[in-house]
Amino acid sequence: MAEIVLVAAVAKNGVIGADGDMPWRLPTDLKHFKALTVGKPVIMGRKTFQSLGKPLPGRPNLVLTRDERFSADDVQVFSSLSGALVRCETLLTELNVDEIMIIGGGQLYQSALEVADRLEITEVDAEPEGDTTFPEIDPAIWDETARRSGEQTEKDSAGFEFVTYQRRAAS
């Protein structure tokens, strides 16, 4: 059974984006993101894809959009999360992996939170202005299962911690 994992960097105030970009520079977190996602299918919204400028290498890129005319090289385009998840079932077998990585943005996180099994959150020690936020992580639904400090370098614009949440079993 595939595990659906949301991967996000989230500020103390819940902000994840500002004007289509991340409101910080965290090269250390980008390495962490790559380690989590490489070799696995990644699902993202169109705005997130456009902010990247090109597909992420070394992993299938699935883009969700309501724009029926949207297309891009080296990505698979879907109009619904359910359609992308069905495609991922085949990709998981082909890639011999068991995780589907959902990488944003805000609207996709909101809808995918309902079906996610795990959250991989980089908690960013900052409170930037922004126009996109991560949905609230409800402790009645999510258990924090791991937390470790990130090694901030001089290139990282803020401190951060890597936190894993697992969905609680339905009671």
Exposed / middle / buried, residue 141 (Cβ in 10 Å: 0-12, 13-18, 19+): middle
Confidence (pLDDT) at 139 = 96
Does domain 3-167 fall under CATH 3.40.430.10? My reply is yes
Q: Tell me the per-residue pLDDT of 19-77, one tens digit each, with 9 for 90 and over.
A: 989 999 999 999 999 999 999 999 999 999 999 999 999 999 999 999 999 999 999 99
Q: What's the token pair of residue 63?
A: 């883009």
Closest CA to 62 of 113, 80, 51: 80
Q: Are 8 and 137 a contacting pair, CB within 8 Å? A: no
The tokens describing 73, both together, are: 């090289």
pLDDT in the model for residue 165: 99
